Amino acid sequence: MTNPNPNPTPTPDRERMERSLRIWFTEGRPPLADRESQINDVLGRLDEAPQTRARFLGRWFDRGRGARRGTDAHDHPPDNNRRNRLMFSATGLVAAFAVLALSVSVVNTEPAPPNAGAGTSYTVDAAGTADFSTIGEAVAVASDGDTVLVQPGTYTEAIVIDKDITLAGDGPIDEIVLHAPEDGPRVHTGGGPEGSGLEPYAVLLVDTEAVLSGLTLEGERAVVIASGGAPTLTGLLVDGVGLAYKAGYEATGNSIVINGGSTATVQGNTLTGGGSVGVFDLSEPLIEGNTLSGGPHIWGGFGDGAIIRGNTIDAPIVRGILVGGPSAPLIEGNVITNPGFDGLTLKDSSPTVRDNVISGALLAGINVKMMGSTPTIEGNELTDNDTGIILHASEAQVDGNSVKGGDTGVMVGSGSPMLTNNSVEGSRLGIVIRAFTSPTLNGNTLCADEANVRISAGVDVDLGGNEMCEGAAA
């Protein structure tokens, strides 16, 4: 807006307020290269309508308070003279505010931003019309409990967050786009491209309980990394971020990385056509209600307390979920369709796997690959996978699963698993038991097209407690 009176006649009230404003902005705010121009901009608006003056003065007054709180939060030594100057200038500013507002009551009618805490809110606009033009500047000023709201635009930044703040999009999510710089910093994650473990990042969350939401991440490597702490990643759109896969098997990139023992919450995000959610260092995240399509999957070395629940994973290039390491996470209620390898792969781990729906896997719905695994696999629905369940496990507990279609219902390749109360229907083979295994079968219902049970020579299995369809040989 153009100032209708660019050269107002000085008045005692105006001179006093100008002096107070300059003291306040100089002493109370962090130094900025364009501070003088911002001061002049605010002073220039003092001759506009009373409501406009009130809004601008209120905003800058809040920013001064935020700067002072940030100083206290970082344990700077007290400065009584500086404090007194701030109090004096604040008093002058409040008085000027009252004079200029002309007794107009300013009421904030805007709803509180999503996930906003009780602290100060800062706005970011790449066009330069808000508090800051970069996200990094706003994050640097913010303190615990503050909120940084990002307006529509494209931001190319590598942001480090080590405070308990909220960083949220404020507008249509597909118009708020974050890219990682091509030559930006990289950090060790435990699962980077081609095993290097070095990942570039757009956002690095370090030992924090920050909330990250409402943003779109684009670009080959705009990775979000949660290292330690308990941050929340929610409502993110991750579009084509992270390299895909090499030779159809080896993962070469991630879109979201959880490491350093983090207990992050990764909830309600959408990942499409890029890298995966990678978990390292026995971290224990809650990964819940996310949608992954066109390549990404969930994988890594999980801690015992990790939960992978209620995710929808469509057409992962390799597998839907991979769990490795000596851990026992919960994998529950996920829907996995058309994986290029396995729906769910377990390596040397003993998770509880229950109530998942897996279909269309080119190898196995659930593949227990290593001796020593003792998973509990119960209540899963496995349809039209080449093999419903493959077991290379010493003492897997497989109970109450439904297997339909495909070539083989359950294949026991090694170990001594216990199969109880499972249903196999419409597969070519029901249960295949290989040599040197000693499974226990009880209470299963088998109705295969060619053979209900196929047993290798030399294996002694009691089939008496199972129900089998007639016409298919055992």
Q: Can you list the residues of the chain whose pLDDT is less than 70?
A: 1-118, 190-197, 243-252, 371-372, 471-474
Return the pLDDT at 447.
96
Return the pLDDT at 349.
86
**Nearest residue to 63 via CA among 1, 148, 125:** 148
Return the pLDDT at 375.
93
Return the pLDDT at 185.
87
Return the pLDDT at 92.
41
**Residue extents of the structural domains in the chain:** 12-101, 121-468
Q: What is the pTM of this model?
A: 0.74
160 close to 204: Cβ distance less than 8 angstroms: yes
Return the pLDDT at 473.
60
299 close to 278: Cβ distance less than 8 angstroms: yes
DSSP β-bridge partners for residue 49: none
Return the pLDDT at 36.
55
Q: Which helix (H) or strand (E) holds 66?
A: helix 50-73
Euclidean distance between CA atoms 93 and 195, whole angstroms: 58
431 close to 454: Cβ distance less than 8 angstroms: yes
Euclidean distance between CA atoms 186 and 189, whole angstroms: 9
**Residue in the structure block whose two tokens are 């294996």:** 459
Q: Report the CATH number of the 121-468 domain.
A: 2.160.20
pLDDT tens digits for range 416-427: 999 999 999 999
Return the pLDDT at 360.
98
330 close to 305: Cβ distance less than 8 angstroms: no
Euclidean distance between CA atoms 340 and 436, whole angstroms: 30
